Structure 1
Amino acid sequence: GKFDMEGNPIKSDALYNYVQSVDDPAIINNTQGFVYTYPNRIFAHFDVDQFETMKNRILNATGSNRAVAVTINPIEDAEEEDIPCLQFLQCLVRDNELTIHCIFRSNDIFGAFYSNMFFIAYLGLKMKEEVNKEIVGEKLNFGGVHYHSTSGHIYNTDIKAARKLIKANK
């Protein structure tokens, strides 16, 4: 596509569609038959909009460290083999800069990393915009993503492409 980035194995149209799933009611309400989706777990799990909760916590106490969302549900996920890789999100505001922190229990650093990073960045930008609509005075800036993965890996099916990318960037 027009906005493809060199070295990114996921093409821009796919990234755009993935990121836009944040606003897709079928994804949020999980009517497409997936075990879970991140938008579903963040925006509608157990009828709780954790994004809205994070936003309200920022608005009520800008410096709070309580603007958090989780995607894991021990009751529901205990019997599932496929549990969310993204476990935790936190929005922090320091010196008028909003950063979003995330923790992945596992991360495909060649394939899924790109879409996950764009999705998380989009959430951070969306949070900044939503908060800025409601605050009076100095608006927030977006300071980026702090991305943590406790178990990064590359699948065997991606090894050749990953090696090619590494060689191309030497």
Structure 2
Amino acid sequence: MLYIKKPSVYSVFDELIYKILNEGDDVETEFGEPTKEIRNTIIEITNPNLKKVPEKYPLGKKAVDDYINHLLYGSKNEFSYDYHQRLFKYPYKDEEINQIEYIINKLNQQKNSRRALAITWNPKIDIEVSKDERGSVPCLQYIQFLIRNNNLYMTVLFRSNDAFLAFPANALGLIELGHLVAKKTNTKFKSYLHHAVSMHIYIERDKDMLKKSGFL
């Protein structure tokens, strides 16, 4: 288990990558890819207003901006899942459920609610997709918001998270979602907590980029 508490994603990134490379377990994925992994990595961002992209993040600011745009407003690309769809238009029978709208309404009705949450996993879809060797299913699983003393606290859970290529965009994108909820609930966005059950780095696949970024 790893716990890192820092003001920003920017200040977390280098420590996270070095910790996984130096202390992570060697784990081969179900697809035969070598990784370094730390189970149950918890990252607490104490100042979500700090949105600078880590300098060593190989995909850069554009990738983060694109991720934020797709998360909040949707994408024209077609995947077996889409976070915007699962959060804003969750498929259930013949319905589409806007879970973010529910969260905002719930918190505005009951400031101390523990029920302001959203899920992305859809068993009807994702169990079947998982049977395909390369089927793509959501890594982000769960989001919950709490308001305490007019401060907004956001917690997210990932079943699996690529620390090197995905974490910065994931975290900064979800933090932007947190700012949206804070604005709609007239609260101060106080803390973002990011929990990844499997936080990992693809050692062989990303070796060249890891070297170029100065991690190897």
TM-score range, shorter chain: 0.7 to 0.9
Q: Within the alignment, does 1:162 sit opposite 2:210 as a pair?
A: yes
What is the RMSD computed on CA atoms of the aligned residues?
1.9
Return the alpha-carbon distance in structure 1 between the equivalents of residues 123 and 53 of structure 2.
38
In the TM superposition, what is the alpha-carbon distance from 1:162 to its structure 2 partner?
A: 3.3
Q: Within the alignment, does 1:39 sit opposite 2:84 as a pair?
A: yes
Question: 2:182 maps to which residue?
Answer: 128
In the TM superposition, what is the alpha-carbon distance from 1:148 to its structure 2 partner?
A: 0.1
Q: Map of 1:1-150 to 2, 5 A cutoff? A: 5-25=54-74, 27=75, 32-46=77-91, 47-81=96-130, 82-132=136-186, 140-150=187-197
Length-normalised TM-score, structure 1 = 0.83
Identity rate, percent: 32
CA displacement 1:106-165 (0-9 Å, x = unmatched):
000111101100111011001011122xxxxxxx11113100000111112223433564
Judged with a 3 Å threshold, the aligned counterparts in structure 2 of structure 1 residues 162 and 51 are, in CA distance, closer, same or farther, namely same
Return the alpha-carbon distance in structure 2 between the equivalents of residues 96 and 10 of structure 1.
35
Return the alpha-carbon distance in structure 2 between the equivalents of residues 5 and 124 of structure 1.
19
The aligned length equals: 155
In the TM superposition, what is the alpha-carbon distance from 1:167 to its structure 2 partner?
A: 4.7
CA displacement 1:25-63 (0-9 Å, x = unmatched):
5x3xxx532111111100011210000011111111111
Length-normalised TM-score, structure 2 = 0.66
Return the alpha-carbon distance in structure 2 between the equivalents of residues 23 and 146 of structure 1.
19
Q: For CA contacts below 8 A with separation 6 or more, give which structure has more relative contact order.
A: 2
CA contact (8 A) 2:153 2:191 kept: yes
Q: What secondary structure, in the 3-state scheme, does the structure 1 residue paired with 2:193 have?
A: strand
Higher relative strand content: 2
Moved segments of 4+, more than 4 Å = 163-168
CA displacement 1:79-108 (0-9 Å, x = unmatched):
113210100000111121112100000000
In the TM superposition, what is the alpha-carbon distance from 1:76 to its structure 2 partner?
A: 1.1
Q: What secondary structure, in the 3-state scheme, does the structure 1 residue paired with 2:114 have?
A: coil
Return the alpha-carbon distance in structure 2 between the equivalents of residues 93 and 164 of structure 1.
42
Runs of at least 5 residues in structure 2 that lack an aligned partner in the other structure: 1-51, 131-135
Higher relative helix content: 1
CA contact (8 A) 1:100 1:120 kept: no
Return the alpha-carbon distance in structure 2 between the equivalents of residues 95 and 159 of structure 1.
46
Deviates more, 1:68-77 or 1:12-21: 12-21
Question: 1:136 maps to which residue?
Answer: none
